[in-house]
Each structure stands twice: as structure tokens, then as C-alpha cells.
Structure 1
Amino acid sequence: MTEMQEIILRTGLAYAAFLVVARFLGTQTLSQMTLHDFIAAVTLGGITANLAFNTKISSINILISLVLFGIIALLITLASLKSRKARYWLSGHPTVLIQDGTIMDNNMNKAKYTLDSLNQAMREKDVFNIDEVEYAVLEPDGHLSLLKKPPFRPVTKQDLNIPANSKEFFPVELIMDGKIIHKNIKENNLSYSWLTEEINKHECTVEDVFYAIRGTNGQLFFDFYKDRINSPVDKE
């Protein structure tokens, strides 16, 4: 086997191995990058990178290292799920940066969070005036959660004494890429005859439907392969 062939084989093996380990660790590593998740992701990335192109190290040894580290990371994740103290030390904890409209200087220093970072994070939440903020909390994954003061909060139907609409549904995908999603039909007690009738109203077949979904209001949305737009807008 040539060196190029070995690199190609090791690269594919590294991707497959990292994918398996990531699946075992769960999606939280992707969605909420806490301190533990950051360390796990960086270390696993380094190990798989060596597996991909470092031909001086045996692929078996790197695979053993990858599996062992994956097991360690999984055990730490399980410990975090079982123990609040473990979560505190492994994943960090929320830090209040603004309380009752007052900036908490000591907490800012402990979190090593600057006023520039605070202002930037607030602007990303569409808050440009700090006097609009009642509470600001720095979450373990690094993002900022805000609670605005009552005068600056969005008005709700309850505030205006407007009756709420009827019960809403969770969106259900029915057709994708011209194929019926049978699992969703069965799990939501929907009938094929009903779906076929709705499709026939558009004078088309299932194969003509690119995407179909039942929305939160119970209404159907269809998107067809042929968009039926006579004058499409085109940008050069």
C-alpha cells in the first residue's frame, strides 16, 4: 500500500470513528459547548487528525486512544447528568452579570467578561441600551440570556386580554423529495386517503410534491417541483 492510499484509508477511518464517538456523546456537545464539551471536542479532533495523516503512529494505537478518550468523555457526561456538583465543576454554572438593572462588577471580573463583550452580546439580542435590561445571565456555554424590564418587553395576547387561538399542532412533515414519510403518517394517526385527497386538489401526484407539511394551525403547505411561477425574479 502506498503512502497516499494509506492516508486516504486512514482519513475515512478517522471520520467514521469520530462520527461514532460523537454519536455516543450526544448532540449536546454540538449545541451547547460547555467547558467539558470544548475539551472533549478539541481533544477528539486532535486524535482523529493524527489518525488521518500521521502515518508515523500506528492506526491501531490511535484508535485505542480515541476509544478510551471517548469512554472517558462519556463517563464524565453521565456523571454530569447524575450529579449537580459534577455539572458545576465540569460544565460550569450560570453567572449573573446584571441584576435589577445593575452591573455586577465582581461577577464580571470572575467570569473575565468585559463591558465590550457585554455590550456586543446585548446588541446581538437587539438591546442597545443597557438601562432596558433587568437581568443578564452568562450561560455555561458562553451565550448571554436577557430579561428586559417590563416597559421594554413584547406585548402578549394575555396583556391585551385577547383570547388565545385554538390548540396548535406540532409541525408534521408528510412528503419530502416526492416520497411519503410513512412514519409520520402513522405516528400522528393520519390517513393516506386524506393525504391523497389533498394532493388531488392540486391536480398532481405524490411524485410532483417536493415538500409537504402540516403546520401548527393544522393547515397543509405544499411545495412542488414545478413552482408554477410565470415570471421568476432573477438577480444577476
Structure 2
Amino acid sequence: MGDISFWEMIWRTTVSFAVLLFLARIMGKKQISQLTFFHYVTGITIGSIAAEIASQKETPFVDGIISLVWWAILTILMTYISQLSPKVRLLLDDEPTIIIKDGNISVKSLKSSRMNMDDVMMLLREQSIFSIDDVEYAVLETNGELSVLKKVAEQGATKQDVKADLTAPTYIPSEIISDGKLVRKNLKELNLDEEWVMKKLRKQGIHSIKEVYFAQIQTNGSLSINLKDNGL
């Protein structure tokens, strides 16, 4: 490995970082979350190329950047094609595999997925399931995670089961005030305004938004408030 000067390394790393950040944004959230094996591999490769550009003097800088950008373009192109063609999507992402069906383990599916029961039990325990007898269906997703449908007797009771209130929430819990300042973006999305906030604050004896460190609207429209001067 050839020597690389300090400032050249800083320059290479800075430019590589900027290019990588830009590419990450245009490749989208699916690539960042690495939802499938294809995106997992491409994500690692792109990161490796960026590291090579930043640290290896033998790697021509411009050639490395071109390689990085071209790899990202290929990833975006294949993702776009997979959206149009189910066959290509199957080739790139594979398909979910049923591991347990009607409470019975599919040995054939385990072999095709190159898994054993230790692997399955570990994935079940991660979902707080310790007995195979509790499982009706288990599906191995394309990202390697296991989706589980418990047997009816093992499923938790829902609000409908216990005849609880099924009214849809009026609001989604959202940050309204942060460090004494209104979060206007959230207010706008909730169709609320500053006057509405002040009415809520005055009901609790608070006369200035600056007194509030954090405030969050709850599903019923009430405010959860933490003051800056709360003695803690």
C-alpha cells in the first residue's frame, strides 16, 4: 500500500464523503435500510469503494469517483427495472419463504434457505416466542427476518375483543415545542396554529412558549408538557 499524505487523505475523504452522501440520498430509503440481500450487498460495495478512494494512493481519485457513481447508477437502474418486472424483482430480491405452515415445520423450506432449527428458534426468541407450538405460520422475509403469526389461542387480546373504545385517534403524537420554540412544520401538518398552542398552555398556567422545554400533542389533543425550570 502506497503512502498517502495527510492533506491528500483529508481531501480524498472529504470529497468521497460528500459524493457518498449525495448518492445515498438519490438511491433512496430502501437502499439505506438494506431491505433485501441485493441492497445489502450493493450498500457494502459502495462503502468499500468510498473507503478505497479515501485511503489508497494507488487508486486514481477520478477513476474511483466514476466507479462509485457508476455503481450507484447501476443500483438505481436495477431497482427501477425490478419495479417494472416481477421476474427481475424475483431475481434480485428473491421471495419470502414459508418456514412453518399450519403449525408444521417445512424441512424442505429450511434446506432451501440453508437454515437449521437453531436459527429458527433464535429468530422466534427475538420475538419472545419460545415454543414452536405457539406458531401457526412463520415466513422468512427477503431481508432475513422472520414474520410470525401466532396460533389464535396465543394471540393477545385486541381492544375489539375486550370491547374497548375503537374510536380512531384525533392526532398522531407529535412534537409541538422543542427547547422553547414552536415546531411549526408539525403544527402545519396537524392543521393547528400558535393560538391553539397558547390556549392549551394558558389552561395549565403557562404564559410563554419560552417556558416550555418540550411539548408533545397526544392522540386525544391534550399536551404533554415539560418545563425548562422543573427542578430536575
- Residue 65 of structure 2 corresponds to which residue in structure 1? 63
Question: Of 214, 217, 220, which aligns to 1:217?
Answer: 220
Runs of at least 5 residues in structure 2 that lack an aligned partner in the other structure: none
Counterpart amino acid of residue 144 in structure 1: L
Q: TM-score, normalised by structure 1?
A: 0.90
Identity of aligned residues (%): 34
For 1:227 and 1:52, how far apart are their aligned partners in 2?
A: 48
Report what 1:12 is aligned to. Answer: 14
Distance in 1, matches of 2:38 and 2:168, equals 43
- For 1:206 and 1:61, how far apart are their aligned partners in 2? 54
Residue 192 of structure 2 aligns to a residue in which SS? Answer: coil
From 205, 227, 230, give the equivalent of 2:230: 227
Partner of 1:169: 171
Q: Which amino acid aligns with 1:173?
A: E
Give the drift of 1:82: 2.1
Moved more, 141-150 or 185-194: 185-194
Report the Cα distance in structure 1 between the residues aligned to 2:196 and 2:170, rounded to whole angstroms. 20
| Structure-2 residue corresponding to 1:178 | 180
For structure 1, which segment, 219-228 or 111-120, has the greater mean C-alpha deviation from structure 2 after superposition? 219-228
Measure the CA separation in 2 of the matches of 1:167 and 1:198. Answer: 18
Secondary structure at the aligned position of 1:134 is classed as strand
1:3 maps onto 2:37 in alignment: no
Bigger Cα displacement from structure 2, 30-39 vs 54-63: 30-39
Which residue is equivalent to 1:233? Answer: none
Cα drift, residue 194 of structure 1: 1.7
Unpaired segments ≥5 residues, structure 1: 230-236
Q: Tell me, in whole angstroms, the C-alpha distance in 2 between the residues paired with 1:202 and 1:13.
A: 52
**1:126-168 deviation per Cα after TM superposition (whole angstroms, max 9, x unaligned):** 1101011000000000000000000000011222333424544
* Runs of 4 or more above 6 Å deviation: none
| 1:204 Cα deviation from its structure 2 partner | 5.3
2:15 and 2:22 map into 1 onto residues whose CA distance is: 11
Q: RMSD across aligned C-alpha pairs, in angstroms?
A: 1.8
Alpha-carbon spacing, 1:72–1:166, altered in 2? closer, same or farther (3 Å): closer
Aligned residues: 228
Equivalence for 1:74: 76
